[in-house]
Chains A and B, each alone.
Chain A
């Protein structure tokens, strides 16, 4: 799968996008995995303090679809998915 980072997530992840070889996993599991790879700063952005929920300021798209309209944090992310992570900062 490909994970794309936008706005200040790019700084926290240290990259614009990365390709990961992972078996299908849930959104929550993926966010935990990314936090493991990139560290505390990204973890604080992506997850709530107790790490059981996605941080409310995160917009999570799988192939352009917002997980809010699929299965939320339980949505399964397939091996060839394109994941886009945005902080909720946009407007215009």
Chain B
């Protein structure tokens, strides 16, 4: 079963550690403009939301690419093959969620760091996690179940 990025924006600290480690992992530089994840902050609503490519199953970027430079790897991640990419940037227009960007040289998006996303590794609060999406692993369900355990279960 493949994993997916799960976001919990109510835990986001607005710290942008994800942007730092993403840009460094991708480009050996600390630069939010080179990060595939961006933290969007809402002052009055007092909340921040990290956003990155959601690895659509029906990916418009993949479908629209005129040279078929975007493909799906064994983890289900949508990857850009830079040997084929001509930099036409049509994928930027095609993505409905704004998750394809241009860094001045090439288009780029989140590639899940080859299966070990660093944003999830370093997010201090668990606002970004990378985990199995099957029913038995969803931790939000476990939070509710644990309440029942605390009240009705035997003392451990």
| Contact between A and B in the complex (any CB pair below 8 Å) | yes
Task: For chain A, give the interface size range.
Answer: under 10
Residues of A at under 8 Å CB distance from B?
39-40
Shortest distance from the beta carbon of B106 to any chain A beta carbon, whole Å: 44
Interface size on B, residues (CB 8 A): 2
With a CB–CB cut-off of 8 A, which chain A residues contact B155? 39-40
What is the count of residue pairs linking A and B with beta-carbon distances less than 8 angstroms?
3
Produce 1/0 per residue, B23-49, CB < 8 A to A: 000000000000000000000000000
* Residues of B near any A CB (own CB < 8 A): 155-156
Closest to B156 in A: A40
- Whole-angstrom distance between the Cβ of B156 and the nearest chain A Cβ: 6
**Across-interface contacts of A40 in B (CB, < 8 A):** 155-156
Query: What are the residues of chain A within 8 A of B156 when measuring CB–CB?
Result: 40
Q: How far is the CB of B62 from chain A (nearest CB, A)?
A: 47
Min Cβ gap B27→A in Å is 35
Complex-state Cα separation, A40 to B154, whole angstroms: 11
Q: Closest CB of chain B to A61's CB: distance in Å?
A: 29
- How far apart are the CA atoms of A40 and B156 in the complex, in Å? 7
Shortest beta-carbon distance, B149 to chain A, in Å?
A: 12
B124 → chain A closest CB, angstroms? 16
> A39: which B residues are within 8 A, CB to CB?
155
Q: Which residue of B lies closest to A41 (CB)?
A: B156
B152 smallest CB distance to A (angstroms): 15
Bound Cα distance A40, B155 (Å) = 8
Complex formed: what's the CA distance from A67 to B76 in Å? 57
Instruction: List the B residue with the shortest CB-CB distance to A39.
Output: B155
Subset of 3 A-B contacts with CB under 8 Å? A39-B155, A40-B155, A40-B156
Q: What is the chain B residue whose CB lies nearest that of A40?
A: B156
